[in-house]
């Protein structure tokens, strides 16, 4: 799995951070997403997929293949 984020789309809701803080964080000044781990471990995949699905700005993209 590969994760990418579009900082320009991010609205700073923080749902991704609440779901998977090992992969996502937020900038202190404006709350925009910070991707900590673009290739998360397999055990994190379910919550990373959920974060991408529930992102209100559709700023998270998940590619399942390498």
Is the pTM higher than 0.85? yes
Q: Please provide the DSSP assignment of 3-61 as one string.
A: EEE-TTT-----HHHHH-TTTEEE-TTT--EEES-SS--GGGHHHHHHHHHH-TT--EE
> How many CA atoms lie less than 13 Å away from 3 in the CB half-sphere?
30
Residue 65 — very low, low, confident or very high, per pLDDT cuts 50/70/90? confident
β-pairing verdict for 33-35 and 60-63: unpaired
pLDDT tens for 1-56 read 999 999 999 999 999 999 999 999 999 999 999 999 999 999 999 999 999 999 99
Domains present along the chain, CATH in parentheses: 2-63 (3.30.70.20)
Residue-level pLDDT at 49: 98
């Amino acid at each position: 799995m590969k994760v990418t984020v579009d900082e320009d789309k991010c609205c700073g809701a923080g749902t991704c951070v609440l779901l998977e803080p090992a992969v996502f964080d937020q900038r202190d000044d404006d709350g925009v997403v910070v991707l900590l781990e673009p290739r998360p471990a397999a055990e994190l995949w379910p919550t990373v997929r959920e974060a991408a699905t529930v992102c209100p700005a559709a700023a998270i993209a998940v590619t399942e293949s390498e």
